[in-house]
Structure 1
Amino acid sequence: MARARNIKPSFFLNEDLAEIDPLGRLLFIGLWCLADRAGRLEDRPKRIKIELLPCDNADVDALLQALHDRGLILRYSADDRPLIQVINFARHQSPHHQERQSLLPAPASFEANGERVRGRPKANSGFISDKSEASPGAIALIPDSLIPDSKTPSSSAVADGLMDGFATFWKSYPRKVGKQDAMKAWKRLKPDADLVQAIGEGLERAKASEQWQRDRGQFVPHAATWLNGRRWEDEPDDAAAQAQHEQWEGV
């Protein structure tokens, strides 16, 4: 079953990744959607082609091997079952909290959640060479701020991004009371893109709840109270929770 995942701008800017066939890059993105919450999936090239590249004349097995050689995925076997581990998947994806745990065994050098075993050399996040983990030219996911030739965002740019996220949150929040207090709570959180999405999804669940819709919303808390209490982490109380997952994706 395909799942919604995130993609960062650094993916399109990396020159090393450009060495991979365009269909290979598209396949790599598609693997994130097929992978479970730990970044693992079955290594079945024919099935993967049907799922991700049904209209293209592509040798998916060769493309998967190219991704493996570049250190982007790990092809391995467990109990005579061919599997794939997407490298650094857990660091860069935020699976929905209702997504079930992985049923596939982790590689020997990885923990159950898809993270590398502590004590082993860690790949830097973004897309840069990591010679300790793979062959020369291997690529590992790294943070956008560490992309070669990229510039560290200025403090004003960070502040602008922070307030853009708050503006989106405030526009969606149903009770327009205590904006300054809510803004202070938001600044204390300093949410990154993943947290902004998690807050947005939690807010949509809360808005759909019976409690918030009761008596014209008189039981909706002030936004600052909701943020300070990290109420977006509350368990959903109705079946509409899953439908809210994609609304805030990409904010």
Structure 2
Amino acid sequence: MARSRNIKPGFFSNEHLAEVDFATRLLFIGMWTEADREGRLEDRPRRLKMALFPADNVDIEKMLADLEHLGFITRYTVGSFKAIQIVNWSKHQNPHVKEAKSIIPEMPVAEPCPVKTGASMVQAPDEPGSFPADSLSLDSGFLIPDSLPPSPAPAMVENLFPKFWKLYPRKVGKDKAEKAWAKLKVTMALYDTMAAALAKQVLTPEWTKDKGQFIPHPSTWLNGKRWEDEIPDYASNVHPFPSRRSSSEPDFDDQTWADDLGSAL
């Protein structure tokens, strides 16, 4: 007879169960409803197939073997009777106190207890659960908490947007720019990369012509990750002095002349 059982959120994040396919995980849940109050059920793959997967083409025998290999169930025989024990059943479920006692023989050799010496793997038949059932894992006695522990708070990062806004040459759409900036989660290293790219882009003809009307909006620049553009080094191609001279004038293309001029100041 099928019974209502508990299922905790931790079941779905169990990394060991993730090693088996979806149907095997569903079989494991279904076996809880077929097990008695001690977590035992008959080892009858065909019967489980009809009870849990009547309309599906699944290999119950292989699925049971996978669950046993991972340590979630133990298959055993007493005489000619084949049975399955769900490992650490009382840690996962709290059967009702009035639920009928098991008629399935227990395993002839007790398996080592993963929690502490002398602790029973099953709940005493006439005692209600003294602690809430938990979820399944192969770690720490096959238990994991109901929810994952919160991740450590990330290190505080300075809000660098004001520096970017001050640096960007076209100050339009500040609200949109701030939203785009927030999505990027800018670190100091990324900000330095952006600043270096802007230092080159402000010298390009596309940004200097027509009083900068072709400079992209800051939100567009951020959303497009324009700091990753390949930018020619225009600064190195701009000569600091006009190339003009008469026969009596110094050679303006001669850098030594400029150096001499600077030392005379």
Q: Which has the larger radius of gyration?
A: 2
TM-score relative to the length of structure 2: 0.46
Q: By percentage of residues, which structure has more helix? A: 1
Given the two structures, how large is their TM-score scaled by the length of structure 1? 0.49
